[in-house]
Amino acid sequence: MTNPYGQQPGPGQQPYGQQPQPGYGPPSGATPAPYGQPSGPNPMPYGQPAPYGQPAPYGQPAPYGAPGGMPGGGGDINSIPDYKGWAIGCIFLCWIIAIFAIMKSNEVNTYKMQGNYAAAADASKSTKTMCMIASIIGGVGCLFSILWIVLVAASI
């Protein structure tokens, strides 16, 4: 049978409509590997961790406990908190400081995406400090408000 498109089959391909010739395919009696299973004897798993003290190959994560990633030893970039929720909540306590805390929180994520982990850690520390100051100011303001309401109610 001829190919209606005028193309010749490539090497190792059967012409359209013909049965495979003996000698091709898996050996007789052998069953092909199930879908998703590698074929062949004991394939090496990819993603092998590098020996301790050696850098991981490009694109491979460093194994647990191995140095790399963040300065000062190993670690995960997600371990640098951005305190965004706290910064947003501080809007109700001291909105002026909370706005700057939100901007610093955004810088944490920007630095983490750029790979500048030292600057991300510094911005995270600044965000935490601003959120702490806004929380203290808001807490003291709430206490004074409650005290003022009690004094006004007692004087009536």
Q: What is the mean pLDDT of each run of 10 residues along the chain (156 residues)?
A: 63 61 59 60 56 60 51 62 88 90 91 88 92 93 94 90
Predicted pLDDT at 66: 47
d(CA 143, CA 138): 9
Domain ranges of the chain: 83-155
CA-based torsion, 103, 104, 105, 107: positive or negative: positive
Smallest CA-to-CA distance from 75 within 134, 10, 120, 14 is with 120
d(CA 62, CA 64): 7
Question: Can you give the pTM of this predicted structure?
Answer: 0.49
Number of residues that make up the chain: 156
